[in-house]
Chains A and B, each alone.
Chain A
Amino acid sequence: MNAPFYKYDIFSFDQSLIIAFIIGIAFGFFLERAGFGSSKKLAAQFYFYDMTVFKVMFTAIITAMLGLFWLSYFGFVNIYLIELIPTYVLPQLIGGLIFGVGFVMGGFCPGTCAVAVTTGKIDGLFTLFGMMFGIFIFGEGFPLIENFYYSTNAGELTLTEYLNIPYGVLVFIIVIIALLGFYGAEILEKKFSKKYEKLAR
């Protein structure tokens, strides 16, 4: 096998930048197609009347997850060469909670606010500036939180290792959870959009 191609030196770093741009275009394209250029639609997830965020996110996850499992199984991809961000339990937990608050407040995540900006949303622009300011604050305050930032490092840890469940079984479990989630999401949407009928698109 010779995939991931970049890890087998099939092309150079400079060429990978062009590929990055193309992949980014596809990424941004589908984000906008899903309606994620709209903060109202994104925030609606947390009021249950539009569960598009959950649906898109988890569909994407199980699509890529299944694709990767089977490509790996048939020897087309060496999954061990795919970069895994190390697990830092506490910072990622706390970071996630903070991020969630910011998400429901701002109505965007970093990727979607880029899409919002190029489709004319001024609130997207403000979120983008806010985000960069937040990154700046973090950078300036880094020496203060450095110890916490590097705490609880579990290294590169996958759920298969941590839960000690075989890869394929875990894939199946997540697919089931996602599908049940979609079913539940449809029900919640119907129930809550009656409530907020005038606001749902």
Chain B
Amino acid sequence: MKNLPVKFSTNQKFAAAALVFGLLAALVSFTKSNNNSDLDLQQLASLVENEKDHIDATELADWIMQKRSDYILIDTRSKSDYNEYHIPTAQNILLQKLINENFSAYKKIVIYSEGGTHGAQGWFFLKSKGYKEVYFLRYGLNEWIDDLLFPKVSKEMYESNSEEYQNIARKAAFFGGEVELSDSTNIKTKTYRREGC
């Protein structure tokens, strides 16, 4: 059916080419990975756009409630602000000190500020130092207070006592907050995004 010797060598040529290009790819990436101080702006930009640079208050709350030990939580505000209130388990490290600290003992670094700006800037500093998993609270402590400590729920949701409501209420209570009833009826409904092909 097939002229075996001829076909075989064509396939062998393809295989050899693949092998060569693959080997070169491996070698090339070893030379690249030697500079740890390489600032890959493209990668950073893509992290930002793909929203892998931040976490939200509820996710952080989960981590704290689960007593996870693989992250460090950093509060970049002033000492007096920190002493007045800070997210439980947070350490107070100002930006000037942040850039000199060594966080290699932690898998993840989570950083927050009052509104999010310094958190974002701290994120950039840490990423440029080469830390792999750095996240900030997008809207800072404000987000923690508005979304987690004192979340607003509609009357319908409060009365429904659904599992979702109970989750929200439980988390708020855990950190010493409580649910707030909102009068407005424009609740953010879940928008479904199409994914995949």
Contacts and interface: CB of A to CB of B under 8 A. Distances in A.
Direct touching of A and B (C-beta under 8 Å): yes
Interface of A: 59, 62-63, 66, 69-70, 73, 78, 80-81, 85-86, 155-156, 166-169, 171-176, 178-179, 182
Contacts of A178: 18
Nearest to A78: B42
Interface in B13-28: 14-15, 18-19, 21-28
B99 interface: no
Interface of B: 11, 14-15, 18-19, 21-30, 32-33, 42-43, 45-46, 50, 52, 195-197
A172 B50 contact: no
Given A66-B18, A69-B25, A166 B32 contact: yes
A169 B42 contact: no
B195 A85 contact: yes
Given A86-B195, A179-B15, A179-B18, A80 B46 contact: yes
Contacts of A173: 26
B4 to A, nearest CB: 11
Given A73-B28, A86-B195, A166-B33, A175 B42 contact: no
A70 B27 CA distance: 13
A182 B18 CA distance: 12
A172 B26 CA distance: 6
Contacts of A73: 25, 28
A155 B25 contact: no
